[in-house]
Structure 1
Amino acid sequence: MVLSSKDGAEAIPLLSVKSAKAGTVVYAPGGKLGPRIQQDLQLVLLHTGSMSVDIDGVTLKVPPGHITLLKPGHEEDFIFGKTQDTWHRWIGISVNSVPESMLKILVKLPAYIPISDRMNRIVELMLLLDSSAISCVEALNDLGRAALMLYISEAKHHNTLEIMHPAVLAVKEYIQHNYASELNLTLLSRIGNITPEHLIRIFQRDEGLTPIKYMWNYRLNQGVELLRSTGLSIGEIADRIGFKTSYHFARMIKQLTGQTASEVRKASWQGNK
């Protein structure tokens, strides 16, 4: 079985996870680990200090604040910082086998990428569940699989994010967290710390649309999801996603989907999305 991709990218095989476990450790200066043969898929998050991993004779130096994926069957020898403590966490994912199609995906990924807040949350939740008195084996396995899928997704998009202007990233993140509030180009340009004219130019270059158009699209996508997933009235939804009137919301839903808001909801509730 594979997970389909909405953007047309190659599909990711769905792994059968035998077990998944997270851990955390702080090495004193001069710490070492190995040599060892890696048994599982392992995500290693380096938070502070320094870490070099010799993998089959090739040295990988991972910067602090970054995560790398270690793959089974390779000989590894770790050397940690000589002058300060090194703190790293990890997620070990034991699988029956790694499909050839997934290996082809993994070898194309960067050697390491920045640790995201989302990945940190998965690790923290796994550590919490692992210390629970209640057995959470299946939940841990699912989280381990989710962490791997998240890593693959973030690694695939890492190069895209690197070339995207920081102001575009900042404005997109601000819109995603504040879309229900009153937003305008002047405010968004202040968030990006550039002029409104410059923001429009780089947004069109990196996203193919203006920041205001991106904002309305994001609001509409949230509105469609609320229509499909809640019993809130059209007016309530409009108010919650930043529309001043339900008429404006309904009109833009019609333009986006070709259906009225009520038709979008009815189709979803009847199983026809």
Structure 2
Amino acid sequence: MDDMYNDVNNDGVLWPQDAAVGEAFYSPCGTLGPRIQRYLQLVMLHTGSMTVWIDDVPRHAEQDTVCILFPGHREYFTFDTECETHHSWLHASIPHVPEAMLTRFQQLAWPLHLSSSMAQLTRDALDTRAVMLSTTPMLIKALAVQMLWRYLGEGEQHNETAQGHPLVEHACHYIYMHLQEPLTLEQVAQYVSVSPSYLMRLFREQVHISPIAYLWQRRVARGIELLEQTGLPVGVIAQQCGFQTSYHFSRRIHLATGCGPSEVRRRAWQR
């Protein structure tokens, strides 16, 4: 099977010959290296911070970020001087990454925000590593492919919106992470340390809707995702997405799709 995927790797499939995941905890002032990077590597930083010298050029990353490292470069890491640094990593051995793909990776911001989706893929990969199945190596390779493509996609999306105000990005992320809670404009504004009126103006300029309208958009989108991808009862989905009643959830779904939750699920499952 590896030979089959290597044959099509020139088309950008990024299927690795080998892939591994792991995690490490470094005490304050910890170091790693120097070493020569052998893999295409993603580093997910969960707590603490790190500075990595790549061919003697320093680059810094804080917690809740993810960064990419390329094979063939000399690296030396120093970790946070005041607290423990927890990071996880993905090693992907891909001997012949298409030049166009490398260019796309190299053009991304460094580091990127560690999204909830990337963090979940990382947890899935770490959990899979602990399962002794005959297919475990292939499962880890498949997750590696997903992580690399997500890193690329999220990075390119970040580049497209880089001209936007960073407060809006932080507010959107906060909203997404708290969909289940009864959020108010004041809470979101307090999180990003601005007044509600200023946050409202930023959203209308850049997102073209208010923060609360954006919140309801994300709740509806998450609800549709759960309807299509899970068998959870409608009432449970409504609660997980921040709706106080199933009726309100159903009404919002109907406004967005033209049909009720059960029909949304039926259509998705019959595709």
Q: Is TM (by shorter chain) over 0.5?
A: yes
Please list the CA deviations of residues 130-185 of structure 1 after superposition, one character each: whole Å capped at 9, or x if unmatched.
Answer: 57666631232223223322322333234456554454334323322332333333
Please list the CA deviations of residues 200-224 of structure 1 after superposition, one character each: whole Å capped at 9, or x if unmatched.
Answer: 1111223221111111111211222
Checking the alignment, whether the CA contact within 8 Å between 1:45 and 1:115 is kept in structure 2 is: no
Q: In 2, Cα distance between the equivalents of 1:168 and 1:31?
A: 36
- SS of 1:17's partner is coil
Q: Which residue of 2 aligns with 1:141?
A: 141
Checking the alignment, whether the CA contact within 8 Å between 1:16 and 1:96 is kept in structure 2 is: no
Q: In 2, Cα distance between the equivalents of 1:67 and 1:241?
A: 27
Checking the alignment, whether the CA contact within 8 Å between 1:168 and 1:203 is kept in structure 2 is: yes
| 1:52–1:25 distance in 2 versus 1, CA, 3 Å | farther
* TM-score, with structure 2 as normaliser: 0.69
* TM-score, with structure 1 as normaliser: 0.69
Note the C-alpha offset of 1:263. Answer: 2.9
Query: Which one has a bigger Cα radius of gyration?
Result: 1
Q: In 1, Cα distance between the equivalents of 2:32 and 2:262?
A: 62
Q: Which residue of 2 aligns with 1:15?
A: 14
Q: In 2, Cα distance between the equivalents of 1:174 and 1:30?
A: 32
Q: Which residue of 2 aligns with 1:60?
A: 57
Any unmatched runs of 5+ in structure 1?
A: 2-11
Q: Which residue of 2 aligns with 1:155?
A: 155
- SS of 2:233's partner is coil
Tell me whether 160-169 or 60-69 shows the greater mean CA deviation: 160-169
The count of residues paired between Structure 1 and Structure 2 equals 250
| 1:240–1:13 distance in 2 versus 1, CA, 3 Å | same
2:111 alignment partner, one of 110, 113, 116: 113
Q: Which residue of 1 aligns with 2:190?
A: 190
Aligned residue type for 1:21: A
Please list the CA deviations of residues 6-56 of structure 1 after superposition, one character each: whole Å capped at 9, or x if unmatched.
Answer: xxxxxx93222211123559698897535x5x55323356765543222xx
Please list the CA deviations of residues 198-255 of structure 1 after superposition, one character each: whole Å capped at 9, or x if unmatched.
Answer: 111111223221111111111211222333332524x554454333444443333232
Please list the CA deviations of residues 51-96 of structure 1 after superposition, one character each: whole Å capped at 9, or x if unmatched.
Answer: 3222xxxx53221436543434x4x333455xx7997764321125
Q: Which residue of 2 aligns with 1:41?
A: 40
Q: CA RMSD in A?
A: 4.0
Q: Which residue of 2 aligns with 1:253?
A: 253
